[in-house]
Structure 1
Amino acid sequence: MFNFSLLNIVAALPAIIIAMAMHEYAHAKVADVLGDDTPRRMGRLTMNPFAHLDFIGMLMLLLLHFGWAKPVIINPANFKNKKRDDMLVSLAGPLANIIVAFIAAFVLFFVNNHNIDVSQGLYTVISLMVIINVNFAIFNLIPIPPLDGAHIVSNFLSPSWQMKYWQWQRFGFLALILLAYTPFLSMVLIPVQQSILKLFSLILQFV
């Protein structure tokens, strides 16, 4: 999904940093609003990328097309409605990425429709901002622990099945690496990516 040539790595870095930072900040902000001050106490309630970046995860994303940010730690015991609020926190990260992607798509739409002259480098950065944020949102919704999708799915399971489900977390990263190198990931997720991009295009026609 994150299929960049070496020529695009420099252009991709700003998009990756912003995607990771906004994703984790959204988790922290929603958790804080819903009553859990754990992210605030851990210094995660900030848009400063350095508070959220995992440099090994970022390097993996560049080299292996699969990576991660520093996860935001939450304490569901602080929520009024544990299941609902945990799902809202989990959804906040991918939703933030979709919003960032749409803003970047709007900038491209504005540039293209008003014949604004921008450098090829800047245009590439903004284009990658769209693709990377959409991909990051979709990727994190895969229901494999420890991704956000797993948190969402687990809240629909009984306590006993939740325990069994999260026991797979130790194999999660291995499973994701294997998925990243099989056609399955692209076959399932690229159509979702294209649907989101088409939706952006449709919405922007009314701007």
Structure 2
Amino acid sequence: MFDLSFIQLVMRAIGTVVVVTLMGFSVAGFARLLGDKGTAYDGKLTLNPFVHVDIFGLFGGTIGRGGWTRPIAIDPAAGRMGRATPVIVALLTMAAIFLFGRLVLLALPWVAAYWPASSAAFVDATIRMTADIAAWTLAINIIPIPPLLGGYLLLSLAPDAHGWLVRRHLYVSIVLAVLVVLAYQSLPATPFGELARLLGAR
């Protein structure tokens, strides 16, 4: 069914874990900066991947290059920007992931010059794949449903609907993963593919 090699799957899994962990940490950090202390109390203000990586989001990232985090609760009432707080957090997080996707490529000359030759090709390809996954993750996460970043727009506009979906997070994640698996070969030809390329995907 898949035309992906074992090495490609490993590289995509590594890239997804890195990007999703950074995304979860960024959401928690920006929410805290905007006044919501709940993310710190919930233990989300950490770079521990076990806190942020959703198993189905990891699967989606490994197959389709677009992953997502476990839900991170943001209380609009606790934020300095009121109902706009979740949207601002999502936008700042997207900017952080985009910047990371560009900056990580700066490590390539260092790998070429100093990394052991026996594994330099793998590390080089993994870095490039991580940048690719950052772009694809951003493209997928514009969809306005939790646990995707776009879901924070729904939180601001329709908190009851957002809460209903968050309570069914497992089922939403499974559906997203299934859709990614079914469509992964055709995704580059969709608007998500166009957006991912604009964001730096190969």
Length-normalised TM-score, structure 2: 0.75
The whole-number CA distance in structure 2 between the counterparts of 1:100 and 1:148 is 16
Alpha carbons of structure 1 residues 175 and 56: separation in structure 2 relative to 1, 3 Å: closer
Q: Following TM superposition, by how much is the alpha carbon of 1:34 offset from its aligned partner in structure 2, in angstroms?
A: 0.9
The whole-number CA distance in structure 1 between the counterparts of 2:75 and 2:45 is 15
Whether 2:43 is the aligned partner of 1:46: answer no
The whole-number CA distance in structure 2 between the counterparts of 1:178 and 1:13 is 17
The whole-number CA distance in structure 1 between the counterparts of 2:56 and 2:146 is 19
Listed as ranges, the gaps of 5+ residues in structure 2 are none
Q: 2:11·2:125 contact (CA, 8 Å) conserved in 1?
A: yes
Whether 2:189 is the aligned partner of 1:192: answer no
Q: Deviations over 1:176-201 (max 9, x none)?
A: 34542247743111111112228xx9
Alpha carbons of structure 1 residues 44 and 100: separation in structure 2 relative to 1, 3 Å: same
In the alignment, which residue of structure 2 is the partner of 1:144? 145
In the alignment, which residue of structure 2 is the partner of 1:116? 113
Range with greater deviation from structure 2 (96-105 or 138-147): 138-147
Q: Following TM superposition, by how much is the alpha carbon of 1:71 offset from its aligned partner in structure 2, in angstroms?
A: 2.1
In the alignment, which residue of structure 2 is the partner of 1:204? none
* Structure 2 SS opposite 1:116: helix
The whole-number CA distance in structure 1 between the counterparts of 2:186 and 2:126 is 28
In the alignment, which residue of structure 1 is the partner of 2:68? 68
In the alignment, which residue of structure 2 is the partner of 1:15? 15
The whole-number CA distance in structure 1 between the counterparts of 2:17 and 2:11 is 11
Range with greater deviation from structure 2 (33-42 or 66-75): 66-75
* Structure 1 SS opposite 2:72: coil
* Structure 2 SS opposite 1:46: coil
Q: Following TM superposition, by how much is the alpha carbon of 1:103 offset from its aligned partner in structure 2, in angstroms?
A: 0.8
Q: 2:90·2:152 contact (CA, 8 Å) conserved in 1?
A: yes
Alpha carbons of structure 1 residues 68 and 154: separation in structure 2 relative to 1, 3 Å: closer
Alpha carbons of structure 1 residues 190 and 100: separation in structure 2 relative to 1, 3 Å: same
Q: 1:93·1:137 contact (CA, 8 Å) conserved in 2?
A: no
Range with greater deviation from structure 2 (59-68 or 119-128): 59-68
Q: Deviations over 1:30-85 (max 9, x none)?
A: 11111111111112112222332234542454367665322222222211322221
What letter is aligned with 2:197?
A: Q
How many residues matched?
A: 190
Instruction: Tell me the C-alpha RMSD between the 2 structures.
Output: 3.2
Q: State, as a whole percentage, how many aligned pairs show the same letter.
A: 22
Q: 2:53·2:70 contact (CA, 8 Å) conserved in 1?
A: yes
Q: Which has the larger radius of gyration?
A: 1
Q: Following TM superposition, by how much is the alpha carbon of 1:12 offset from its aligned partner in structure 2, in angstroms?
A: 2.5
What letter is aligned with 1:107?
A: A
The whole-number CA distance in structure 1 between the counterparts of 2:71 and 2:164 is 18
Alpha carbons of structure 1 residues 64 and 107: separation in structure 2 relative to 1, 3 Å: closer
Alpha carbons of structure 1 residues 66 and 34: separation in structure 2 relative to 1, 3 Å: closer
In the alignment, which residue of structure 1 is the partner of 2:84? 84
Q: Following TM superposition, by how much is the alpha carbon of 1:106 offset from its aligned partner in structure 2, in angstroms?
A: 2.8
Q: 1:31·1:74 contact (CA, 8 Å) conserved in 2?
A: yes
